[in-house]
Each structure stands twice: as structure tokens, then as C-alpha cells.
Structure 1
Amino acid sequence: MDNDLRALREQHGWTQGALADRLGVSRQTVNALETGRYDPSLPLAFRLAALFDTSIEAMFRPEDPIDPAGRTDTAPRRSN
């Protein structure tokens, strides 16, 4: 999952450790979130959004876009 966590953290002048303390998680968790190796639980995503005064949708984006029909690929479908 793509996210803006690193940029938001840096805008506030916080280290990974400082953000981790505010969230009640480890610095390693913050690092894994920033690098996309870990997707947050829903409660953690809500805490992050509240902390940065934004929405979850604004912070986190799926790597594969989903079209309105619910498909994850964006290639046009051929009709037979």
C-alpha cells in the first residue's frame, strides 16, 4: 500500500521514534509502514489519520487501482 507517512512525519519535524511514541508502536513499525512492508491495522490507520488531521483515504492508497466495477486491473476489457 502506498502512503504519505514519511512526508507527513517530516513536515511535523518528528523522527520515526517520536511518531512511534505518539502512536504507541515501535520505531520499527513506523519504518515498516513508511517503506510499505507493513499495512496498518484499521485502528492504527485511524490513529494516524487523526494525528495528521487527514483521512485514511488521503494517507493510504492501494498499489493496484480499483475501478468502479471492482476490478483491480485497469486494462480495457474486450467484449466478445
Structure 2
Amino acid sequence: MKLQIDSDMKNTLKVERAILNITQEELAQKIGVSRQTISSIEKNKYVPSTVLALKLSQLFEKPVNEIFELDEDD
């Protein structure tokens, strides 16, 4: 389940994709979601589930907290 947020969480998903030189569609296929889901996460419209965050962490070979970070006030 994805939760709608008001940009309380930052992420580096777009940067991580650029490092691997993959499109939103390619990333989506690798982790089993739609391209729209990747787009929504990158735009901070949705927070990924724990399982999805862990899949991204494994794919990018980085800890979850290096990809996703709560704003200081949270």
C-alpha cells in the first residue's frame, strides 16, 4: 500500500537511475511495478511500501536511508 504525502520525504531515485543509465520503464520492470509508480515516487507523490523500498535498495546496492530520507521536521 502506498501513502500519499506532502513532500515530507526526499528521495534520490532519479539520481540513482541516472547512475545506472536506466529509464523509469526499465526500473519498473526490474522491480515489478508500473512506470507510473516510479514516476510518482520520484515526484514525491507516494511513499513506496517497505518491500518496494527494499527492492530498490537491493537494486541500487545502497541502504534504504540513502535513497529515502524524511525531512528534518519529521
Please, what is the CA RMSD of the aligned residues? 1.0
1:31-50: CA deviations, max 9, x gaps? Answer: 00111001000000000000
Q: 1:34 aligned to 2:42?
A: yes
Runs of 5+ unmatched residues, structure 1 = 67-71, 73-80
Matched, 1:10 2:29: no
Aligned counterpart for 1:55 among listed residues 59, 63, 67: 63
Higher relative contact order (CA 8 A, sep 6+): 2
Question: Taking structure 2 as the reference length, what is the TM-score of the superposition?
Answer: 0.85
> Which of structures 1 and 2 has the bigger CA Rg?
1
Aligned pair partner of 2:51 in 43, 54, 78: 43
Aligned length: 66
Q: Secondary structure at the match of 1:2?
A: strand
Mapped to 2, the partners of 1:23 and 1:41 lie a distance apart of 12
User: Structure 2: 5+ residue runs without aligned partners?
Assistant: 1-8
User: Which one has a larger percent strand, Structure 1 or Structure 2?
Assistant: 2
Instruction: Give the TM-score, by structure 1 length.
Output: 0.79
What is the CA deviation profile of residues 4-60 of structure 1, one whole-angstrom value per residue up to 9, with x for unaligned ones?
Answer: 000000111100000000010000000001110010000000000000000011110
